[in-house]
Structures are given as structure tokens and as C-alpha cells.
Chains A and B, each alone.
Chain A
Amino acid sequence: MAIPDTVPLLGISWNDVLFVVLAGILLGSALLVVTLRDIIRCGIAMVAAFGALAGIYVMLGAPLVAAAQVLVYIGAIAVLILFAVMLTQAKNAPARLVFQTQAIPAAIAAVVLAVIVALSVVSTDWGAVSTRLTTATDALARLLFNEYILPFEIVSVLLLAAVIGGVFLAKREDRDA
């Protein structure tokens, strides 16, 4: 049995349904990240947000970026943040006050920022085509290792510097103690 082109009874395409679901998961879990009290749950919600964003990258025709999102963000950064939570949070209950005193002005500023961005996005002609393009991975590899070879090498040096700096900053200084 063939799947119909549009959702039955509603007349909207499956891509739109997928986009709305992924965007809902993304924004909902992002809101949970910034509002939940328990920081471990914030970290889990952040993993959900990263996963939904990887799905959106697949929808945008960039499968390699989606794979890198899963590997780098869910696999590395989220685990790193959860380890830091384990090492720095107190054993007793989470902090009583989650937000600073400027939380309400911050919320107003964030809403204003979102409205301004949305208005300027809608009122600008971006020169976009009306169908999504997909990115071929072999073309990406050719571009990365020809035109972008210098930034690629600089990124490797940057990562080495970050590793050394992270070890230096996080290591325990026994002689001062």
C-alpha cells in the first residue's frame, strides 16, 4: 500500500508535519533547558534538543552535518557537560533559586529579540529558491579538502590548544594547597 502524498483528511504534506513536530520538540526541550530546576534534567532536555536539531538538519538535506551533530553534540559536548555537573554540583537539593533577580527583564529582552528577528526575517528577500537543495557528501569533502584546507588545519590546531588549555585549567594544583 502506497503512502499518500499528503496527510489524509488534512491536506498538508508529510514534510510540514515532520517540521512542526521536530520544531516543537526542539523549542519545547530548549525551554525546559532554561527553566527546569534540576540541572541533570536540564542536561537531558539539552540532549533532546540536539537530537531534534539533527533531525532538522536531515530535513534540510545536510546528512553529514546531522551525523556530526549527533557525534559532536550528543556524543561529546553533552557528556562533557553532564560530567561537569557531576563534579561541581552540591550533593544536597538543587539550588533554591533557579533564576537571578534580573530574570523578568531578561525574559522581556528575549521576547523582544525573537520578535525583532522574526519581523526582519519575514520582511527581507533572501534570494532563496523555493525547493530545498541537498548537499552531496563527496562535493562537501572536495570543498573541505581543497578550498577550506587552511581553516581545516587551523581548526585542528585550535582543538589541540583547547585540549591543552582544558587540562591545564582543570588539573588540581597540589603544590599551592
Chain B
Amino acid sequence: MSQSLDAYLVLAGILFAVGSFGFLARRNAISMLMSIELMLNAVNLVIVAFGAFVPELNVDASVIALMVMAVAAAEATVGLAIVMAIYRNRRTPLVDEYDAMRQ
């Protein structure tokens, strides 16, 4: 099982599905950001798994995975800063109470 690419890809697909469920279903903005991190990790797992099983992609995959991690760090920084800026105005972290554009 650990010697087949399919097992890792299915694992990453399930992890991505769990993250997408969390993003769609949670009310808390920070929980949604955690779910985004889970999805990014699933994508990174796919990249590294392809690097481990396809010889032409072997070293490139690790480089791309490191780039994805850097972009994920930048995304987390800006996303959390936006959440804190909204929290300062609305005094709640729950996204279904952000209804200023609906009124």
C-alpha cells in the first residue's frame, strides 16, 4: 500500500474534501482559514507524492512544494490580518454576521 501512488493520491483527495467541508460549513472565520490550510496541505501532499513516484518530477516536485509552502505562509499572514481587521470593526469572528453588504 505504501508503495503505490494511488494510496497517497486518495489520501490527499480525502484530506482536501475534509478541508472543503470545513470551509463551507464552519461559522468561525479562523476555522475557515484552518480549513484552507488543510486543503493547501493536501495539494502539497499530491505534489510530493508525484515527485516520489514519477522519476522525471523527482527533484522538481520538492522545489515546487517548498514554493507552495512559502505562498501558504503569505496567504495565512494576510488572511489572518484581514480577519483581525474585520473583527475590530464588527466585534465578532462569525462570518454569517458579516452582512453589511446585504442591507
Contacts and interface: CB of A to CB of B under 8 A. Distances in A.
A97 B95 CA distance: 12
Contacts of A121: 6, 9-10, 13
B103 interface: no
Interface size class of B (residues with CB under 8 A): 35 or more
A121 to B, nearest CB: 4
Contacts of A27: 11, 14-15, 18
Contact of A110 (B20, B26, B72): B20
A122 B18 CA distance: 19
Contacts, number: 261
B30 A117 contact: no
Nearest to B17: A114
A23 B14 CA distance: 10
A163 B26 contact: no
Interface string B24-67: 11111111011101100100110011111111001111110111
A127 to B, nearest CB: 6
Interface in A118-160: 118, 121-122, 126-136, 139-140, 143-144, 148, 151-152, 155, 158-159
Given A89-B30, A109-B21, A122-B6, 6 more contacts: A81-B33, A88-B87, A95-B27, A100-B27, A117-B9, A135-B51
30 contacts: A19-B1, A26-B11, A26-B15, A34-B31, A60-B49, A60-B51, A64-B66, A65-B44, A65-B66, A72-B72, A77-B76, A81-B80, A89-B30, A89-B93, A95-B94, A99-B25, A103-B24, A103-B25, A106-B25, A107-B25, A114-B13, A129-B54, A133-B52, A143-B59, A148-B67, A151-B67, A159-B70, A161-B74, A166-B77, A169-B82
